Amino acid sequence: MTSRTARTFRLPDLGEGLTEAGLVQWLVAVGDTIATDQAIAEVETAKSVVELPSPFAGVVTALHGRPGDSIDVGAPVLEVSDRATTAEPTASAAAHEAYREEERAGSGNVLIGYGTTERTGSGRRRRPVTGPAAPALAAPAAPAAPAARTIDDTPATADADTRRPVAVRSPLVRRLARDLGLDVHAITPTGHDGAVTRADVLAAAVDSAVAGAAAHHRETTDADVEGLPVVRRERLSPLRKAVGATLTRSRSEIPEATVWVDVDATELWTLRAQMAPDGGAAPSITALLARFVLIALEEHPVLASRLSDDASELISFDGVNLGVAADTDRGLLVPVIPRAHVLTVEQLDSALRELATDARAGGLPPERLRGSTFTLNNYGSLGVDGSAAIINHPDVAILGIGRILERPWVVDGQIVARRILQLSLVFDHRVCDGGYAARFLRRVVDLIEHPLRAFGRV
């Protein structure tokens, strides 16, 4: 005996506190037959653009959303109909159950590969579907409203897809959520055991306040601004929201200070040209400066440390994961070179070129966009000399590099043309004072102005 089984694939838990994804393009269309783990869409998270695989096989009966839309975690993505035999479970049913286990575990793995079944012969369909929506294209389903705002530790008894189980270990956290009028089921937990923490509740309260202020702003500005009609209103992408949240947190939590200096980079400029291998290209200025920075961080490791969440402890590391700011069509990304302190200039140069290419192509996996302990920002490549950079939280420092220009410079009492660049160090004043930061910066300056002193270590 067989029967038609309709399945709704909902956007899974993305991990790392992400609550939505932007739909870039469909890779399937209504009427297509898909296999388990086949990529059905490309979505943009706050980290990167990735393929979204289906947890089950069947015939696509509806697609929810159009390219450019944002899809919330738990909202429908597509619907699939298949023939299931009631006598014995099908492979797709087992695959779907494996997917649900991944989703309930909150691992984030469900976004980039479920591990549900071995891939079958036909492979993935890569045909983008970007044309006008067909009539069968279903409108995104509105999320079900909770029956009542309750703060408890038990799973809701309503719809398991819209009311997920939560844990609130502390009565103080439970009371805080109640006092703020928040539904704990709508709060993303970050506790090590999956529990909602005080910080989670406060972050949700801020988000709620910002959303309310934005709604009020829309109501008061939709007509016009001093006689100017509104042309369009665009929803921020997940990346822009994530960047905004990180930078806002950085500015609100970190008492930052800045020191800067103009550097004579003439000798480095000359030496770099001599470092090109036969038939090859010389290492980039960024690679050379990165190596000098890593040498200086060995002597000033506090600037590559982190503060604990409550800012009561300084956490030091054996080495440096170097974040490198990259300007892309999607916005600012900070890909990371892990254990950069063990790399040579040539290896750093190769890693930087690879990261820049992958970042601009949107092909960096999420794990390459986290874990930095110090950030380098070469805004000189954008044609500017200086910048009031914002620390990439949870780092405690960022070094900015301006463009290298020929400028008049006094050498031995004579005004001559030299290659000058400006360095700007922004640091968390909680972890060190200005003297420590200045000594680190002067060490970098010394290596730039006298690069042969570091040659043995380059």
Buried b (16+ CB within 10 A) or exposed e, 419-433: bbbbbbbbbbeebbe
More confident residue, 393 or 84: 393
Order of strands, sheet of 70-72, starting from the edge strand that comes earlier in the sequence: 49-53, 39-44, 20-26, 70-72
Q: Does residue 125 have a pLDDT over 50?
A: no
Its CATH class, for the domain covering 2-111, is: mainly beta
Q: Which of 126-135, 200-209, 308-317, 361-370 has the lowest mean pLDDT?
A: 126-135
**Higher-confidence residue: 200 or 14?**
200
Compare 104 and 41 and report the one with higher pLDDT: 41
87 confidence band (pLDDT: 50, 70, 90)? very low
Cis peptide before 394 (omega within 30 of 0): yes
Domain ranges of the chain: 2-111, 144-211, 241-454
Q: How far is 192 from 418, CA to CA, in rounded Å?
A: 54
Q: Is 277 exposed, middle or buried (0-12, 13-18, 19+ CB in 10 A)?
A: exposed
3-state SS class at 456? coil
pLDDT top residue among 149 and 208: 208
Specify the pLDDT at position 165: 58
- Summarize pLDDT for 231-283 with one digit per residue, the tens: 888 777 777 777 777 778 888 888 999 999 999 999 999 999 888 888 888 99
Asked if pLDDT for residue 394 goes beyond 70, the answer is yes
Q: Is the pLDDT of residue 418 over 90?
A: yes
More confident site: 249 or 304: 304
Q: Strand 374-377 to strand 322-324: parallel, antiparallel, or no bridges (unpaired)?
A: parallel
What is the pLDDT confidence band of residue 437, given thresholds at 50, 70 and 90? very high
Three-state helix/strand/coil letters over 99-137 = HHHHHHHCCCHHHCCCCCCCCCCCCCCCCCECCCCCCCC
In the predicted structure, residue 335 carries a pLDDT above the cut 70: yes
Least confident of 78-92, 241-255, 308-322: 78-92
Q: Regarding predicted confidence, which is higher, 14 or 80? A: 80
Q: Is the pLDDT of residue 8 over 70?
A: yes
- CA 185, distance to chain mean position in Å, is 24
The pTM of the whole model exceeds 0.75: no
Domain 241-454: top CATH class:
alpha beta
Name which of 194, 43, 180 is nearest 107 in CA terms: 194
Q: Give the pLDDT confidence score for residue 84 in this predicted structure.
A: 45
* 55 vs 218, residue with greater confidence: 55
pLDDT tens sequence across 419-433? 999 999 999 999 999
Q: Which of 78, 447, 93 is nearest to 290 (CA)?
A: 447
So what's the pLDDT on residue 441?
97
Answer whether residue 130 shows pLDDT above 60: no
Neighbours of 410 (CB within 10 A): 9
Average pLDDT score, the chain: 78
Catalytic residues, by residue number, are: 429
State residue 286's pLDDT score: 94
Q: Give residue 214's pLDDT.
A: 61
The end-to-end CA distance of the chain, in Å, is 72
What is the mean pLDDT of the segment spanning 205-232? 68
In terms of C-beta density within 10 A (0-12 exposed, 13-18 middle, 19 or more buried), how is residue 192 classed? exposed
Read off the tokens for 250. Answer: 């950085």
- Select the more confidently predicted residue: 290 or 49: 290
Which pLDDT does position 118 carry in this prediction? 39
- pLDDT value at residue 357: 87
**Are the C-beta atoms of 80 and 62 separated by less than 8 Å?**
no
CB under 8 A, 24+ apart: contacts of 314-319: 314/431, 317/373
Distance CA 255, CA 208 (A): 25
The radius of gyration of the chain from alpha carbons, rounded to an integer in Å, stands at 26
Rounded to an integer, the average pLDDT of 95-122 is 42
Task: Among 7-11, 74-78, 257-261, 359-363, name the most confident range.
Answer: 257-261
Higher-confidence position of 56 and 290: 290
CA-CA distances (angstroms) from residue 290 to 105, 391, 449? Answer: 39, 17, 15
